[in-house]
Amino acid sequence: MPVTGEAIVGLLPEIIATVFLFVVLLGGVFAGERNSGLVGALATLGALATFASAAVLLAVGFEGTFFGDSYAVDNFSLFFKLIVSGTAFFTVIAATRWAGTTGDAPEYMTLILSVVVGAMLLASMRDLFGLFLALEIATIPSYAMVAFDRSRRESAEGGMKYLVTGVIASSVLLYGLVLIYGVTGSANLTQVAEAFSGELTPVGLVGIGLMLSGFAFKLSAAPFHFWTPDAYQGAPTSAAAFLSVAPKAATFAVLLRILVEGLPGATTTWASILAVIAIITMFVGNLSALRQRNVRRMLAFSSVAHSGYILVAFAAIQGGGQQTGIQAVLIYSAAYAVMNLGAFFAIDLVGEDAKSFNGLFKTQPALALCMGVFMAALVGIPPFSGFFGKAWVILAGAQSGSILVYAAVGALVINSVISLPYYFGIVRNMFLEEPVSGGVARKDDGGVRFSVYALAILTTVFILFFGLLVTLTGASGLL
Amino acid sequence: MPGPIQPIIDTINQQIPLEGFLIVAAVMFAIGAWGAVIRRNAVVVFMCVEIMINAVNLTLVAFADFLPSAAGLGASYAALIIAIAAAEVAVGLAIVLAIFRSRRTVNIDEVNSMRG
């Protein structure tokens, strides 16, 4: 099958990101190690150009499948490409100063951009082995990102724990994909859908189960979430922020595509499995987060809980909730991206101990207000972004007409209440406690500060984009 | 394969059903997974992961050989997977080396400074 001009236009965001990946790596070699500002600027430009190209493709309504029906460019995938490249934009800005201090800025930026390439490929893949390749392109650099900080011992430790669980998860996922391939005889999702339209064979059922377990690892869903707190605590803050959002959103995208396009015949099976996983994940994430004194660890468990909330939307993709369920995944991913990224970056400016937030409102009111916005959004309080995600998940659950999903939605509401104390514990520390005397004055970082303020504004004005978001996700191209 | 060996291999091949390959692969995968969970040395854990990935590859090649609709594509997918596994282990060993430099051990259960 020849590569057409149309395919190149469809692949433009990936091509731009790949070109900038090499430009940043080579630019770093020629600029010398003192010139991290230039490298940061190049990487920022790359993320921005990628975002712009994906936005243009989305605006002109570009659609098509390429390379023998194995690569789909549609509204759905472009939406996730926007999330991934937008996240990368803020991460690169926030990481520039820090990466300069390690002396390896070009390598770090290259790793970020290669995760971007992998995550964007992932959102478009319609081929079982292609998606495994894309998943690994996104995952392998992320192991290195977690272990990147050589000045902290925890970094390599977090990286190793992430890596060991990650490679085991990859092989389990791959086994599932191979069994599905064996039942189907083809790696293409269209043929998979045909083979799985009838009664499920035992081999097919095992394949689906192994594949979902592998994805549960990647999405840090219980009972496979145990690597998350260690990896996020050990990782450099920018890496933890980025990895908790971009690859995760893309993994949700590809899981949604496999389930909706590849396995519609087995909907009741996977929807019930995912409903149970979602309920366990929400409770485990929130109850573990309650015990944490380290804010980074707390946010790691909170990201586990949020994976659970998104999985409720997956479980709701049945009966009358199909369209709304898919919409809910898209809206929640966007809402989660802005609020979680901001919350992680705020730690970089304040400190990872919960006590370091004490009296922040008196010393740095603007930063305290931003953190307050992120916390309120993560709880799901109305004007902020998280509310719309949760509202749409509940709406989809109500339309699904399944008892198990109703239970999951009930668990979501209960969990939102459970999560109040730990999010508002930080808000209380910031506004009511006295500043800790003799606390170390942290070096101010303009890039991180810019990212935090911009993301706080985005989280607040999410409501203005909401109408656009609903129209966009309503015609996602999936289904 | 030259000479008299090829007919023997062909005869053996004709007598082993698809299930034979799948069961061997499943047992291999289980052994690898068991080892990856219980072993403490990170390098041995990577070896166990390799066993798991090779089991998957065996499954894949067996499917590709036996299923008419697979059209032999499975072999090229297997080559792809071997390359990915190599990349994973390359990054893995680099991280293990970084751990060993700072702690003088590669045992996973001794590397536990983070709790909670």
Q: What is the pLDDT of residues A333-386, one digit of tens each?
A: 999 999 999 999 998 888 888 888 888 888 888 999 999 999 999 998 888 999
Q: Chain A contact for B36, CB < 8 A? A: yes
pLDDT for res A114: 95
SS3 A64: strand
pLDDT for res A35: 78
Q: Whole-angstrom Cα distance, residue A471 to residue A3?
A: 32
Confidence band of B81 (pLDDT split at 50, 70, 90): very high
In a domain, A14, yes or no: no
Q: Is the pLDDT of residue A466 over 90?
A: no
- Give the position of tokens 């493709």: A57
Residue A468 burial by CB count (10 A; 0-12/13-18/19+): exposed, middle or buried?
Answer: exposed
User: In total, how many domains does chain A have?
Assistant: 1
In a domain, A67, yes or no: no
Q: Are B67 and A182 inside 8 Å of each other by CB?
A: yes
Residue A128 burial by CB count (10 A; 0-12/13-18/19+): exposed, middle or buried?
Answer: buried
Confidence band of B2 (pLDDT split at 50, 70, 90): low
Confidence band of A33 (pLDDT split at 50, 70, 90): low
Mean pLDDT, rounded, for A112-134: 94
In the A/B pair of chains, how many CB contacts fall below 8 A?
A: 116
Mean pLDDT, rounded, for A189-214: 89
Mean pLDDT, rounded, for B68-97: 86
* Between residues A53 and B14, the one the model is more confident about: A53
Show Cβ contacts of residue A401 under 8 Å, excluding neighbours closer than 6 positions. Answer: A318, A319, A320, A321
Q: Are A254 and A314 in contact (CB under 8 A)?
A: no
Q: Is the pLDDT of residue A285 over 70?
A: yes
Q: Is the pLDDT of residue A439 over 60?
A: no
Identify the weakest region by mean pLDDT among A253-257, A380-384, A389-393: A380-384
Confidence band of B71 (pLDDT split at 50, 70, 90): low
Which helix H or strand E contains A65, and what residues bound it? strand A64-66
Q: Minimal Cα distance from A293: which residue of B?
A: B116
Q: Count the residues in chain B.
A: 116
pLDDT for res A446: 85
- Partnered with residue A65 across adjacent β-strands are A72
Rounded to a whole number, what is the distance in angstroms from the first to the last CA of chain B?
58
* Closest-CA residue to A124 (of A174, A71, A55): A71
Q: Are B69 and A185 inside 8 Å of each other by CB?
A: yes
Q: Is the pLDDT of residue A441 over 60?
A: no
Confidence band of A395 (pLDDT split at 50, 70, 90): very high
Question: Between vectors from CA B26 to CA B25 and to CA B31, what angle results, nearest 5°?
Answer: 95
Confidence band of A467 (pLDDT split at 50, 70, 90): confident
In a domain, A205, yes or no: no
Q: Is the pLDDT of residue B69 over 80?
A: no
- Partnered with residue A353 across adjacent β-strands are A294
pLDDT for res B70: 62
Q: Whole-angstrom Cα distance, residue A17 to residue A202?
A: 42
SS3 A224: coil
Identify the weakest region by mean pLDDT among A47-56, A78-87, A458-467: A458-467
Can you state the percent helix, strand and coil of chain A, rounding each to 5?
80, 0, 20
Show the beta-strand stretches assigned E in A68-177: 71-73
In a domain, A307, yes or no: yes
Residue A135 Cα to chain centre, angstroms:
13
Please give the domain boundaries of chain B with CATH numbers for all domains. Answer: 5-107 (1.10.287.3510)
The whole-chain average pLDDT of chain A stands at 89
With contacts defined as CB-CB under 8 Å, which chain A residues touch B67?
182, 185
Instruction: Say if residue A141 is preceded by a cis peptide, omega within 30 of 0.
Output: no
Q: Are A181 and B60 inside 8 Å of each other by CB?
A: yes
* A125 backbone dihedrals φ, ψ, rounded to 5°: -65, 135
Which helix H or strand E contains A66, and what residues bound it? strand A64-66
pLDDT for res A471: 81
Confidence band of B19 (pLDDT split at 50, 70, 90): confident
DSSP track, A334-402: HHHHHHHHHHHHHHHHH-SBGGGGTTHHHH-HHHHHHHHHHHHHHHT-TTSHHHHHHHHHHHHHHHH--
In a domain, A277, yes or no: yes
Residues spanned by the domain of A469? 263-479
In a domain, A331, yes or no: yes
In a domain, A318, yes or no: yes
Q: Minimal Cα distance from B54: which residue of A?
A: A171
* A290 backbone dihedrals φ, ψ, rounded to 5°: -60, -30
Residue B39 CB coordination number (10 Å): 16
In a domain, A426, yes or no: yes
Q: Chain A contact for B72, CB < 8 A? A: no
